[in-house]
Structure 1
Amino acid sequence: MALALNEALGLGLSRVEAAREAHVAEIECKTGLGTVLAGLSGGFGVIAKAGGPGIGETSKFEHGTDFKAVCLHFGPISTKEALSNPELRRRINELGGRYVDELRKEASVELFLRLSRSFAEHVGLITPRIRGVLEKTDKSGFMCSMAMFGETVFSLVEEEESQKLASLLREAAPGYEVFIDSIDDEGARLLHI
């Protein structure tokens, strides 16, 4: 949105400057701690150094073009409430840095999904609906995790497996939408149509 507002209002900010403003807003409003940086960078990876655009750093992983993100979304979990909870922040900080270090040493989709799941379990936000879906995907051989923050199940799978996982998620949660998408390596930008 910051990029679009910059363009619409003729503010003349660079892409990074506009994103920095969005980062300040996400911190002040407690809607994220690195969402803007990750979205600006694009791709598949981790935040390697905390900070907003132009200060923080991301570490991107090679993933090949055949991987798809498959997501089932039940509803939101308030990021503001989560980030305002000292006990939850403590649990996040206990593993977050260590897992980022592990992923920077051995960047793979499989390790990312395994650590993401371990992190979600440790943080303790997995709802009964998410737990039920995860049990079904585990039994079917799909490694899935929970998005932080949202009542959302996700995985990264090879393109030929994406429809199979999507069908399993639809079966596990009738009436909820399942999304399949590619990984965008370019990051946030304005598209002029």
Structure 2
Amino acid sequence: MDGEPTDFEPVELALRELGVAARVDLTPEVPIGRGFGASGAATLATAIAANAEFGLGRSRDELVEVAHRAEVEAGTGLGDVFVQNRGGLVVGDGGDPRKYDRETPIEYASFGPIATEEALADDDLMATVAREGSATLDALPDDPSLARLTRDAWDFAETIGLPTAEVREAVEAVEAAGGAASMAMVGETVFAVGAAGVLPNRTEVCPEGAQLR
């Protein structure tokens, strides 16, 4: 990772399932373990690259499933790789997700990690997430703005009780500047739209899915 040796369980599990022994060099552009789905992105990228490098002949769907199983076994995510495979802004609960092209810049600030594995193992939390998440998705219009999605995501985050004091303070600062902000799932990270310069970092929604370059 950034030139330093490290354990990365979902990547290792994916390589094992593919029957490949390889060194993987990862250069992340967002913080790891902060709710950006970086572990899923790394695992999917590894599966796609290994398939090409070693001529494994796996289909794209097979590679996505390999990455997904590795993430679930490692406890680092549940469905990130399906979104990363498609690219764009994907909204849905896995049944029939909708994809939108959005070019609005997104700003963010990250204060620390929240253990994804612990959150996924909390049955009460997961039941609340399923119930409140479905209600939030059902209430969305057919073509929601990124600001609307972000505000609804913040209502959801507050309902399930994950925001920390630092997260709340950052969201309040964005809202005071006329923007909308919410919390990444799962990490002590705030992302925002419509309030340039309030948060220190900037990124964007990539319209393309994971691919070799």
TM-score under structure 2 normalisation?
Answer: 0.72
- 1:2 and 1:80 map into 2 onto residues whose CA distance is 22
2:175 maps to which of 131, 138, 142: 138
Distance 1:124 1:4, change over 3 A: same
1:69 touches 1:181 (CA, 8 Å); kept in 2? yes
Deviation at residue 22 of structure 1 after TM alignment: 0.4
Contact 1:34 1:47 (8 Å CA) reproduced? no
Higher relative contact order (CA closer than 8 Å, sequence separation 6+): 1
Q: Is the 8 A contact 1:59 1:104 kept in 2?
A: no
The residue matched to 2:199 in structure 1 has which SS?
helix
Q: Which residue of 2 aligns with 1:35?
A: 80
**Equivalence for 1:190:** 212
The equivalent of 1:13 in structure 2 is 58
* Structure 1: distance between partners of 2:204 and 2:147: 17
Q: Which stretch has the larger CA shift, 98-107 or 75-84?
A: 98-107
Residue pair 2:86, 2:210 contacting (<8 A) in 1 also:
yes
Deviation at 1:190, TM superposition (A): 1.4
1:147-162 correspondence runs (5 A) = 147-157=184-194
Q: How many residues align?
A: 168
Aligned to 1:44: 89
Task: For residue 111 of structure 1, report the CA deviation from its aligned partner.
Answer: 1.9
Aligned to 1:135, the other structure's residue is in SS state helix
CA RMSD of aligned residues (A): 1.8
Equivalence map 1:123-134=2 (5 Å): 123-134=160-171
- Residue 24 (structure 1) shift: 1.1
CA-to-partner distance for each residue in 1:30-57, whole Å, 9 max, x for gaps? 211210101111101213435xxxxxx4
Letter in 1 for 2:172: E
How far did 1:87 drift? 1.6
C-alpha contact (below 8 Å) 1:48/1:59 kept by paired residues: no
| TM-score w.r.t. length of structure 1 | 0.79
In structure 1, C-alpha distance between the alignment counterparts of 2:131 and 2:117, rounded to whole Å: 20
Matches within 5 A, 1:1-193: 1-50=46-95, 57-63=96-102, 65=103, 67-103=104-140, 105-157=142-194, 164=196, 167-170=197-200, 178=201, 180-191=202-213
Deviations 1:109-168 (A, max 9, x none): 1220111000111111111111111121121111100000111100234xxx5xx3xx32
Letter of the 2:84 counterpart: G
Structure 2 alignment gaps of length 5 or more:
1-45
Instruction: Say if 2:107 and 2:203, in contact at 8 Å, map to a contact too.
Output: yes
Identity of aligned residues (%): 36
CA offsets, 1:86-127, max 9 Å, x none? 121122012111222233634221220111000111111111
What is the Cα deviation at residue 69 of structure 1?
Answer: 1.7
Contact kept? 1:43, 1:185, Cα under 8 Å: yes
